[in-house]
A and B are shown apart, each in its own frame.
Chain A
Amino acid sequence: MKYEPVIGIEVHAQLKTESKLFCGCSTGFAAAPNHHVCPVCLGLPGTLPVLNRKAIEYVVRTCIALECEVSPASRFARKNYYYPDLPKAYQISQYELPIGRNGKLTVRAGGKEKTIRIHRIHLEEDAGKLVHDASGGSCVDYNRTGIPLMEIVTEADVRSSEEAVAYLTSLRSILQYIGVCGANMEKGEMRCEPNISVRPVGAEEFGTKTEMKNLNSFRAVRLGVDFEIERQIDAIENGERIVQETMRWDEATQTTQTMRSKERAHDYRYFPDPDLVPVEVSASVLELIRAKAPELPEPRRVRFISQYGLPEYDAEVLTGSKAMADFFERAAAIHNDPKAVSNWIMTELMGCLNESGKTIDECAVTAEDLTALLELMGKGVISARMGKDVFKDMFATGRPPAEIIKDKGLEQLNDETAISDAVEKVIADNPGPAADFRAGKKQAAGFLVGQVMRQTGGKANPKIVGRIIEEKLLSE
């Protein structure tokens, strides 16, 4: 029998606010344990949470980008459970009346367009961190407690690991574009939990689904989802039943394992949080946020094609990350040859980034330096081949190209007299090839040019060399 996977994806995105969701504690990364805590996020009695305005703005901005309906009124609920990472014994979340509903995101997977519907977007607080192996007990750090998380839940529209990765890639890019989330999966800024089931092709009914955690990279998502699909199909073929449970992706063994969990079903007893009043996003506030909304990847891709005349492929690669697209536009504003800028970014710059494992944000070359290099090549100060070496040096040291060229004495030799002298010497030393060229053997020119380049330490402008050789040999 043929099976079809049915996948829904839950993403938790950490919002890029300075302070926590309900108190003024810093959201800063890598603080010593329990240094970013206060009575509010520690859940001490007598404290009151006060909502961070920026977090609401960020969620609304995301709702707009994902074409969601924004609820005019939304409210917070308590999700109740006991666990040491949750000091209040409830998490402030949203249940009824989330901020956003019924959105969509269209992605490209396997050469086809696919629209994935967004079920809901809501705001909640993160829990603390448990360290299990320190002291015979368990150790708790509440720095993360109360950091704003945005939960984005799709409908079960995803049909393959490829579509899952395409959705996550596109979502990450959008979150980065609108500046609400760093969206680095390795750093845990964006956590993804797919739920997966399989059913015979053509069946209407959904199979039993499992949820998967600990997928910390796009690669892990692809491998983990494929593994779980295979595991479920094998189980069904062997006459076993799929149990609804949470699986954990194990990076070391590249397999999924059942997470131990309490035998009783979860019952979170959600109820409206009486400490927090409702949030109303009025039509005028919505318009204000919409007006400030930055350009999204897809419209920008289309604009790159029309405004700069770039090929589809270039436009897609460059707009894949906001930082890369910004870099291109800064450079294209200075240097009036967008395709040349694009070529250099896509081959030299991206090559260096790949090789060094750096991101564009960590790159020492500025858009101004890149365009300066292009100008120097355009003026014939250095050859294109030299340009590539200079670029590598710029990438490694962050120095401007003119300085590197001067220090290393790489300037192209354009002085006609000097080149003429070198050509005369080469002709005198190589009477055979010179005679061949005079007799009409054009390929002899290549040899002669090569000799002149050698004479001048590779610095002579090859175009001028070729012209002078022709002048000297053919005008006699």
Chain B
Amino acid sequence: MKLTREEVREVAYLSRIEMTDDELDRMTGQLGAILDYADMLNELDLEGVEPTSHVIPMKNVMREDVVKESCGVEKALMNAPDRFGDFFRVPKVIDEGEGH
């Protein structure tokens, strides 16, 4: 598997990470090396082995549907860079949503 500079640029954009051309080159090399390393797994015969989605052998960890006291609006907003009344304030969003 060969990681391209364009793929790194796209992933950086999706993660909102700004990168210089130098950084892009360096990341393409470093991330590529990691992927190549993981690629060694493909040399194993994994026929009939379920893909691991979770490393802890646990299932059905659940809670009952019981309301707990919330943390309070002041605590919630304590670390907010900006607020407007009880709202978090963020830079004006012009996009109408990502369609999610």
Contacts and interface: CB of A to CB of B under 8 A. Distances in A.
A84 interface: yes
Contact of B70 (A35, A79, A135, A264): A35
Contact of A51 (B63, B92, B100): B63
A277 B96 contact: no
A25 B70 contact: yes
A25 B97 contact: no
A84 B93 contact: yes
Contacts of A34: 73, 76-77, 86-88
A37 B65 contact: no
Given A18-B65, A37-B71, A279-B59, A135 B89 contact: yes
Interface residues of A, number: 65
A35 B76 CA distance: 8
Question: Which applies to chain A's interface (DSSP): helix, strand, loop or mixed?
Answer: loop
A366 to B, nearest CB: 30
A102 interface: no
Nearest to A22: B63
Nearest to A28: B67
A33 B63 contact: no
Q: How big is the B interface, by class?
A: 35 or more
Contact of B87 (A56, A83, A131, A274): A131
B99 A266 contact: yes
Interface string A230-269: 0000000000000000101000000000011110101111
B56 interface: yes
Nearest to A84: B90
A141 B85 CA distance: 11
B14 A127 contact: no
Interface string A20-58: 000111100000111111110010000000111111100
Contacts of B87: 33-34, 131, 134-135, 139-141
Contacts of A52: 62-63, 65
B71 A33 contact: no
A158 B13 CA distance: 38
A259 B92 contact: no
A160 interface: no
A260 B65 contact: no
Contacts of B96: 248, 259-261
A280 interface: yes
Contacts of A39: 71
B59 A277 contact: yes
B47 interface: no
Given A135-B89, A137-B89, A138-B90, A266 B98 contact: yes
A455 interface: no
Interface in B50-88: 53-56, 58-73, 76-77, 82, 84-88
Contact of A137 (B71, B72, B77, B91): B91
A139 B89 contact: yes
B95 interface: yes
A262 B65 contact: no
A55 B66 CA distance: 12
Residue of A34, A139, A266 with highest tally of chain B CB at under 10 A:
A34
A136 interface: yes
A414 B70 CA distance: 65
A280 B86 CA distance: 40
A39 B68 CA distance: 12
B16 interface: yes
Contacts of B68: 19, 23-25, 38
Interface of B: 10, 13-14, 16, 53-56, 58-73, 76-77, 82, 84-100
Given A55-B65, A277-B59, 10 more contacts: A19-B66, A24-B63, A33-B85, A53-B64, A83-B95, A135-B84, A137-B89, A139-B88, A140-B90, A272-B54
29 contacts: A19-B66, A25-B67, A32-B86, A38-B76, A50-B61, A53-B63, A54-B65, A73-B59, A79-B100, A84-B90, A127-B100, A138-B89, A138-B90, A138-B91, A138-B92, A139-B85, A139-B88, A139-B89, A140-B87, A141-B86, A211-B99, A260-B95, A260-B96, A261-B95, A272-B53, A272-B54, A276-B61, A277-B60, A278-B60
